[in-house]
Amino acid sequence: MKRHILLLCLGVGLMSLGVLGGGWYFLAQARQEQEAQLLQQTRLAADAFEQHTVRVVSYVDVLLWSLRAAYLRTGSLSEMQTFINEMVFDRNTIDSINIISADGLIVASSRDRTGKPLNVVDREYFQYHRSTPEDRIFISAVEFGRISSRYMFRISRRISNPDGSFAGIVIVAVDAQWFSSYYQSLNIGRQNVAALLGVHDHKLRARAPEPDPALWAVVIESPVWARLAREPVGVYEADSAVDGIRRTYAYRKVSGLPLVLVVGFSVQDMADRLATRRLWLMVAEISVIAVMITLAALLALMMMNRQKLLLAHQELGEAYVKIRELALFDALTGLPNRRLFMDRFQLCLLTAERNGEALALLYVDLDDFKAINDQLGHDAGDEVLREAASRMRDLLRSNDTVCRWGGDEFLILLPNAAGVPATSAIAERLIARITAPMTCDGNPCRVSASVGLALFPEHGREWSALRKAADAALYEAKHRGKCQWVVASCESC
């Protein structure tokens, strides 16, 4: 009897050691999986936040370009104040839009300014543009607004006189706290963090969770700066300079901007995710020592949890693809949006300059489109836009790009164009294809198009000149009676 008890005890002890060893192994595997998944989620979040940051800055930069162009065209402060008052912009993102003179005074603003004009000659952005003749976008550090009493960073561009001398700046103030609120969508763990920092001054532009107000002006010491000098995307581990928590960070340089995005998770975040699994594993170890059936149940449960993790990972990947599509394509027509179109245009322009090739830009506008919206409704108008986009896309080559520029206007990029005759033939086919009958909500309708053509290098050697020439040609086509194409003249270049 004693021998049987001893053997039984020995067997239970061996089984217990086996269960404990197996439990330790599975816990180590789960830790590795969770760490890999957390890192993947962090990288995907950094990519999505980069797209958001580029989209917001590009939106602000469009406002700056249009404001500067209007100011240089009119030169009248009263007209510019009226122009600003009539501008439509996202006031959740943008706190104010201003024109600042060469002596540092705010001379036109979207805010109601009374009393003595505010002088900003001591601000970093003003001093930067005054001393830098190049036309570069500047993204300032976060500062406390003297008028708005909120923390903001400013995006600005220089205004230059025809002789190149300094004439002032155009500037947009972005609410740093609103910008940070987008990063709150990150849901990796209790101690996760997402931050946007300036590459040149190493200061915060946005952070979630929000830092103490005094930290907006602090230079952030971080290993990311040394790593960023070697590669634009990567991973590192360090103690946070803001809250002192040690985290694993994924960073990436924001494309085309002096900014870097950093997203991180802590050891506690991983422990929180493992807590439930660790508890189940402890219960499983005790249950296996009592009865072997529990082991099978535990293994089945772990397999189910693993499947759920894989499914969650797949859903996150699909969400990333959807976010990227929203960032690069027009939601209504599925055509490339302005950002993607401009990227392709710049690439084609460089290729054309290097190889001595021609490049054509077609500005297409649907004639009397407003009448369709007024008579048949906006749903019918949307259907017409989708059909017109589909027809243009089907007619063009695979390496051509058609973009919905806005409303019922489209831009078409034809790389390696074969000159005016071939491009004009394409314009004729476009007009004929769009003019063909179509149906809107089951009702027959007809729409035509006018096209303005501009070629590189005959009508310009850069984006602004080509677009201006194509726009002028489109205007001439409209003036001649619509439903026709016009090639830009050298006078419009």
Structure tokens, 132 = 């830098």
Collapse the DSSP code of 451 into the 3-class scheme (helix H, G, I; strand E, B; otherwise coil) and give the result.
strand
pLDDT at 103: 93
Cβ partners under 8 Å of residue 347, min gap 6: none
CA distance 104 to 122: 8
CA distance 319 to 325: 10
pLDDT tens sequence for the chain (493 residues): 667 667 767 777 777 777 666 666 666 676 777 778 778 878 888 888 888 888 888 989 999 999 999 999 988 888 888 888 888 887 778 888 999 999 999 888 888 766 667 888 988 899 999 999 999 999 999 888 766 677 888 999 999 998 999 999 999 998 887 777 777 666 666 778 888 999 999 999 888 888 888 888 889 898 999 999 899 999 988 888 888 888 888 899 998 899 999 988 887 777 776 667 666 667 776 777 776 555 444 444 554 566 666 675 776 666 565 666 567 888 888 899 888 899 999 999 999 889 888 899 999 999 888 888 888 888 888 888 998 999 999 988 888 999 999 888 999 999 988 788 888 899 999 999 999 888 877 778 888 899 999 999 888 889 999 999 999 999 999 999 899 999 988 755 5
Q: Are 372 and 447 in contact (CB under 8 A)?
A: yes
Topology at the third CATH level for domain 338-492: Alpha-Beta Plaits (3.30.70)
CA distance 248 to 263: 8
Cβ partners under 8 Å of residue 429, min gap 6: 395
Which single residue is written with the structure tokens 């330790």? 24
pLDDT at 157: 94
pLDDT at 440: 77
This prediction has a pTM of: 0.50
Q: Are 196 and 206 in contact (CB under 8 A)?
A: yes
pLDDT at 466: 92
pLDDT at 296: 47
Q: Are 226 and 260 in contact (CB under 8 A)?
A: no
Which CATH entry fits the domain spanning 18-328: 2.40.50.140, 3.40.30.10, 3.30.450.20, 3.30.420.40? Answer: 3.30.450.20
Q: Are 485 and 431 in contact (CB under 8 A)?
A: yes
**ω into 232 cis (within 30 of 0):** no
Q: Are 233 and 251 in contact (CB under 8 A)?
A: yes
CA distance 477 to 480: 5
pLDDT at 281: 67
Q: Single out the residue of 214, 235, 212 nearest to residue 223, CA to CA.
A: 235
pLDDT at 310: 66
Q: Among positive and negative, which fits the CA dihedral 394, 400, 405, 411? A: negative
Q: Single out the residue of 62, 114, 112, 118 nearest to residue 90, CA to CA.
A: 62
Structure tokens, 176 = 């740093």
Q: Single out the residue of 199, 209, 137 nearest to residue 174, CA to CA.
A: 137
- Domain segments of the chain: what residues? 18-328, 338-492
